[in-house]
Structures are given as structure tokens and as C-alpha cells.
Amino acid sequence: MSVGDIRRTTIKILHVEGGRNLYGGSLQVLYLLEGLHQRGIANLLACRPDSELSRAARPFAEVCPLTMRGDLDVPLIGRIYRLVRRAQPDLVHLHSRIGADVMGALGARWAGAPIVHSRRQDNPEPRWMVAAKYRLHDRVIAISQGIVEVLLSEGLPSVKLRCVRDAVDPGPFQQSCDKAWFGAEFGLPARSRVLGVVAQLIPRKGHATLLGAMPALLAEFPDLRLIFFGQGPLEGELRASIALLGLSEQVQLAGFRTDLPKILGCLDLLVHPAFREGLGVSLLQASSAGVPIVACRAGGIPEAVRDGVNGLLVPPGDSSALGAAIARLLRDPDLARRLGEAGRALVQREFSVDAMVEGNLQVYRELLGSAAG
């Protein structure tokens, strides 16, 4: 089956995504649905009925609300089986964990559908788990080369594995900063320099590493402020740490924000101290906004942040190195500006939505061709 054939023939893909909020993997699914719809592919989307994606995807997919209760949701097997039998898709694309990677795969396999699974995290798994779980999938799409290397090291056969990087639509993030609004919204003193972290409040995102660097940074840059954007189970612990370090005036938790395109361009630096990361969509968003980045050399991060090109990379978990890199860019605004400008070019060159959609489509074509032949 040629590319022309796949574009002329109506192919039906059932996508399964369990996220509630429209960021990270769910946002990538929305980009993919829109791009496939534009290419004449029929999309079905199984997602939580209360998810933001269920509303946003309606112009590009037939939405099939589906209860999804997590990794141990065994009845999801039957729900996916019945949906596949009823809808008769050409293949099933499992986008999230939250039960979809195993329970959803069992249901789709039972119904006889070819299965593609997108792997978004670089967390290690035991070799026995990799052997058992990925036997259910006909193809595994890693969103970064970093994840590819993790999976290969754990024994996943390369014949099943493909790399299609995540993408970003840069347009919304290229708006000018409204400095008056930004200062008033977050209660910032005049002429503050602002660091931002955009990440779930979970241990692997490394918020504590950055907090450890803040006292030394504030000694040199007393006008510095830090805003954590995101929500998660570490909120209480982070608030306590901020208070214990005497940083309540300089550090704030801003929660989950839906207006990041308006916010990111107002940051002086985006800091991403994660010690595990599949790729990091917030890094691509910050680069789209022309914001330089300081991040850790972990997982797929070096693919989104090129050291000395659009940001600086430091070893994970090293507060001193993280603080030194931040201080270097605060002292050298010309370097920071050059890194920000290079980030815009990098996103346009390597992380376009069109490239991501075409990459997924190539995997579909390959799998349907082999299934048909």
C-alpha cells in the first residue's frame, strides 16, 4: 500500500487516551487527530467522558466516551474489546498508560485489531515486563531517541520500535509579553527576573533540586523570582520546603494554567530540573516563545535542549551545577537572547506538527501493509 493509497482510502484509526487534562500526551493526541483528519483519515477517540480532550477533539474525531480507572482497571479489557468489535477500526493506537497500554492492548488483541502503542516516558522497566507487555503491541512508537535507547537496553526487539518525536504548534507561543499583566497576575515587584518551571508536581521533575539552588542565586540576584506552574501530589511538601528555606516571598506555586502561551514569553528562563523525562513538551513550548532553557541531561531532554544552542544542560540532581548555569545566563543577557532565538529555529526545523503526523502515518502504513500482505 503506497502513501497515495493510504491518503485516497478512508482508513479508520481508534485512538485511546486516558488523560484528563489537555497537556503533554493528550495535547499530542489532539495535534495528531487534527493532522490525520486533514489527510482524510477517519478517527475514533476513546477517552474519559470528563476529559478536556473529549471536547477539543470533536471537530476531528468521533468521540467514544469510555470509563478508564487506571493501570489495574481489568474491566477495561472488555470495554475496549466491545468498542473494537463495534467500530471495526483498521488499527488501534494506544496513546497513554493509565491502563491502556496493557488492559487496552488485551482488549484490542482479543478483538483481532493491529495495535500501535506510544511510549512517552523513559522510566526503566524490568526485562520480564518489557517482554510480556510489548508482546501485545505490533509497533511501539517512542517519542524520543532517549526512550528508544531505554527500550532497546531492556530487550524490546528493534523490529517493533519506531521513533516519532513529539511536536508543538509554535504559533500561540510567539505572542509578545504583556509585562504589566504578568506582573500584576503573579504579584511581582517591578524589574523582577523570573524563572519558571512547567511540570507536574511529582518527584521525578526535580523541583527540590532547583529549590536547593535558590539561596545562592538570591544572594547574587535579589530581584529573582521563581514560579512553579503545575499541580500534583508534591504540592504540600514543596510548600513546606519553600517555607523552611525562607523563600515564601521569592517562590510561588501557581497551579495548573491554561494560559501558558500568554505566560511563557514573559519568563527570563525556563528551568527544567527533571531527572527522568521522555522529551518535555514544555521545553518545546518555551523555545517557541524564544525563552532560553536550563535543564538536566536526562532522558530525551538533550533532544529538545541542545547544550549551548537553545539552552544549557547540567547533570541531574546537582543543585550547584543547576544554579551555576542559571547564574551564567542571568549575568549574560546577550547569550540568553541568542539561545532563545536559536530555540525558535530549532522547533520550526525539527519539531513540527506535520512531521509528527507524517511519522505516525508512516507507522500505520507500514503496519497495515504488513497485515494486508
The confidence score (pLDDT) of residue 232 equals 95
The C-alpha atoms of residue 349 and residue 287 are separated, in whole angstroms, by: 12
Other C-beta atoms lying within 10 Å of the C-beta of residue 230: 21
Cα 122 from Cα 124, distance rounded (Å): 6
- pLDDT tops 70 at residue 171: yes
Q: Are 49 and 80 in contact (CB under 8 A)?
A: no
Q: What is the per-residue pLDDT across 263-293, written as a single tens digit (0 to 9) for each?
A: 999 999 999 999 999 999 999 999 999 999 9
* Size (the chain), residues: 373
Report how far residue 281's alpha carbon sits from residue 300's, in angstroms, rounded to the nearest whole number. Answer: 11
290 CB-contact burial (10 Å; exposed 0-12 / middle 13-18 / buried 19+): buried
- Which of the four pLDDT bands, split at 50, 70 and 90, describes residue 180? very high
User: Where in the chain do CATH 3.40.50.2000 domains reside?
Assistant: 3-167+352-372, 171-350
Does position 331 have pLDDT exceeding 60, yes or no? yes
Contact 123, 277 (CB under 8 A): no
Contact 48, 18 (CB under 8 A): yes
Give the model confidence (pLDDT) of 21-57 as tens digits. Answer: 888 889 999 999 999 999 999 999 999 999 999 999 9
Q: Please state, rounded to an integer, the average pLDDT across all residues of the chain.
A: 94
Question: What is the per-residue pLDDT for 271?
Answer: 98
CA angle 299, 235, 300 (to 5 degrees): 10
Q: Give the architecture (CATH level 2) of 171-350.
A: 3-Layer(aba) Sandwich (3.40)
Architecture label for domain 3-167+352-372: 3-Layer(aba) Sandwich (3.40)
Could you give the CA distance from residue 138 to residue 191 in angstroms, rounded to a whole number?
54
Top pLDDT among 99 and 180 is at 180
Burial 45-69 (b: 16+ CB within 10 A, else e): bbbbeebbbbebbeebbebbebebe
How far, in Å, CA of 9 to CA of 33, rounded?
17
Q: What's residue 2's pLDDT? A: 40
Average of pLDDT values for 338-362? Answer: 96
Place of cell 493509565: 98
Per-residue pLDDT of 293-316, as tens digits, reads 999 999 999 999 999 999 999 999
pLDDT at 92 over 80: yes
d(CA 280, CA 337): 21
CB neighbours (10 Å) of residue 139? 21
Confidence of residue 97 (pLDDT cuts 50, 70, 90): confident
User: What is d(CA 359, CA 3) in angstroms, rounded to the nearest whole number?
Assistant: 12
